[in-house]
Amino acid sequence: MDDDYFDMLQEELCSVVEASGASLEKGRNDQLLTALRALLLSRKN
């Protein structure tokens, strides 16, 4: 795995956070989890 792979992975993870309407905050380690919860709970069944 090279730098490009890790850059792509980081961008993919950031896009999930941003899709939830949140802004990325340095130092917060629960942003992906919070975003996934928000996105999944907002789904219509």
pLDDT-derived band at 12 (thresholds 50, 70, 90) equals: very high
pLDDT of residue 44: 74
Query: Global pTM?
Result: 0.84
pLDDT at 13 over 80: yes
**What's the sign of the alpha-carbon dihedral 34, 24, 29, 16?**
positive
Average pLDDT over residues 18-42: 97
pLDDT at 45 over 70: no
pLDDT at 27 over 90: yes
Could you give the count of Cα atoms lying within 13 Å of 16 in the half-sphere of its Cβ? 16
pLDDT at 19 over 70: yes
